[in-house]
A and B are shown apart, each in its own frame.
Chain A
Amino acid sequence: MAFDYDKYLRPGKLPHIWCPGCGHGIAMKGLIRAIDACGLEKNNTAIVSGIGCASRLPGYVDFNTLHTAHGRGAAFATGVKMAKPEMTVIVVGGDGDGTAIGGNHFIHACRRNIDMTYVIFNNSIYGMTGGQFSPCTPTGALASTTVYGNPDPTFDISKLAIGAGATFVARTTSFHATQIDKLIVEGIQHKGMAVIEVLDDCPTTYGRRNKFRSVIDMMKKLKDNAVPVAAAAKMTAEQLEGKFLTGVLFKEERPEYTEQYAKVIAKAKGA
């Protein structure tokens, strides 16, 4: 039987704003399947976002949803989780939202290891504002503000998350649709800050400027360059040139923030 997405979508809120060929819809479906697989209760789940194309997701899904200000999703989510640790908190957003204007909130949520799942849709561009370069736009690529080629180096979001202290970090792509929900499930079930980077594409503002002739070409790039972690272990540095790893990149057990704070409460109460 086909999966019933309608169970989690708010009636009357579609069509979504995403362009034909955008990977965000694939990522949203993965998120919904993951929530279903985890058996999360709608009333007990909050989905929080910032601003941008990906950040419009909360409006479509039937949970406690919080569409905040640009880059602030993780900080709002921290408030929700601290105040009600029994809730499952999921943050969604794009690469510009999460790593540029929201970079500080992102790294500190990782550092605290607060129990939330941050699904970051990395299409390597500011799509909603019309295709300006983001911290994840490849060096040399064309964007509306880098018509001579992007001079900026790029962030590796997963490395950033690991370096900042997230205790579950995974990466996949919109081509690897079934892997999206598997990784998000693992992220939700992990106690602590889980970051799942979903590489996808913006055909409208990135693809056209960067000579991708079709969405299929963009998907093919994701498919061809993705290397599962296990396979990468058997490859040389030369073979890995220009590729990116997919799967669970990092996982460790470390005290979770709201549990640590529960100890503060116990101590303050003189226990």
Chain B
Amino acid sequence: MALTKVTKHIVHGSLLVQFKYADLSDTSITSNTQTYQVVGSAITMTPQYGDSILECTFSASYEHDQTGSDSQYAISLFVNGIEEYEHTQLGGGPTGGNSFTQHGGEHDRVYSNIFHSSFRDTKQSVGWVHNHTPGNTNAQVVDVRGRSMDNNGWQLYVREGFLIVKELSMGVNSGSQN
């Protein structure tokens, strides 16, 4: 057999150590709930290495289907009860506070010549990517939470939630900002 020349090629990189996911159950958050409520269930991941990176990805849809002016919401990533990442003002940000009060003028998200109006049945796809470096091998409880941002906010529904958490060993390469 002829000899084959062996070419040495060194590849430096990191390994995927753990992969966990949760198909989150649909969750409704009652009106006026300004404190964060857990959407579905949490993922608990115990890093095998203290210098690992946990990559978290999430997608879902959110909906509010009631009439009213105050329809801004927030959806966040929590790890061990600490907020890591937040999307705010979903549904449109602060409204004009003018619904149902007068004819004409500016109403919430509707302009000019509209009489006593507000919106209903709004729904959007939401999602994010994020990473977290725990710096230890303690259990990390990762969950998604939602809330109304207004004290008279309307009922919020979060549906079709899917959450993935991956442990990536840092190995040779380190996770770094830019």
The reply to whether chain A is a binding partner of chain B is: no
Which chain B residues have a beta carbon within 8 Å of chain A's beta carbons? none
Which chain A residues have a beta carbon within 8 Å of chain B's beta carbons? none
